[in-house]
A = this chain, B = another copy of it.
Amino acid sequence: MEKLTIVKVGGKIVEEEASLKQLLKDFSSISGNKILVHGGGRSATAMAAKLGVETKMIEGRRITDQEMLNVVTMVYGGLVNKTIVAGLQGNGCNAVGFTGADMDIIRSIKRPVKDIDYGFVGDVIDVNIKELSIMMDQGISPVMAPLTHDGKGQLLNTNADTIASELAAALTERYKVHLIYCFEKDGVLSNPNDDNSVIYELDTELYKQYKTDGTIGDGMIPKLENAFRALNNNVVEVLITNAANLTRPAAKGTVVKL
C-alpha cells in the first residue's frame, strides 16, 4: 500500500497571510499522496459579523442557521478553499478543492435535535474514497473544506477535525494513512500557559488520566477523540504538532497512540 499524508490545518494558520504562505510551501513539498483539510471558523465569524449575522456558539460548537450556512458555504467552500487551491498551484502542487458534496465524498445526516438544536450541522455517515483515490493516482492533491451534504440537496456544516479523521479512517482501505493535526502550538500541552509543556507521547491510558485530572482541557478533547478514532480505524500514525514542523521530519509534537 502507498503512503498517504492527511494534514488538517486550523483556521488561524490559513487565515493569516504569512502562516498560510508558509503552509502552502510546506504542504507542497510533502512527497506522495496528500490531502489538506482546512477550517476557517475565524474568517466565517468575521464575515458573519460584517453581514450582521450573529455567531452563536455552544461549548465551542457553532450553531448553523440558514444565514450562517450561507456564510460558511461562502467562506469555507469559496474564499478559504479556492485561495488555498490557487496558492498550492502557485507552489507547483496540483490541488483540487472539494466539499463533501462534491462527487458525494462525504455524506452526513443533520444532527438530531436533543437538548440543543445545532441547525445545519452534519454528522458523517459515509465516506466515498473511489474518486478521491482516482484523483490521487493522477498526482492531484485534494483540499477539503469542512462542509458535507445529506444526499438530498442539503449542505451541512461539519467540524474539520472530524472530516480529517473520517477521511483518514476510510482511506486506510487503500493507503497507509498518516494523519497530522497542525495548529499554532507545538503539540498537546500539559500546561496551556506554557508552550514548552508538550506531551510527546499520549496513549489511551494517559489520555484518560489527563482528562480526569483536567490536565487536558475542553478545547483539545474533540481533537483527541478524533485522533483515537482514527487510530482505532487502522490509521498508522496520528501527530498533533505545529504547522511549522510539517516539513521537519525530526520535529517534535504529540504522537497519539492507542
- Where the two chains meet, the residues of A that have a C-beta atom closer than 8 Å to any C-beta of B are 24, 47, 50-52, 70, 73-79, 81-83, 85-87, 89-91, 94-99, 101-104, 130-131, 134-135, 138, 140, 147, 149, 151-155
Contact = CB atoms under 8 A, between A and B. Distances in A.
A76 to B, nearest CB: 7
A82 B77 contact: yes
A155 B86 contact: yes
Contacts of A96: 98, 102-103, 131
Nearest to A51: B50
Nearest to A147: B82
Contacts of A75: 74, 78
B91 A81 contact: no
A140 B82 contact: no
Contacts of A153: 24, 86-87, 89-91
13 contacts: A70-B79, A73-B78, A74-B75, A76-B78, A77-B78, A77-B79, A82-B147, A85-B99, A85-B101, A86-B153, A90-B154, A96-B98, A97-B101
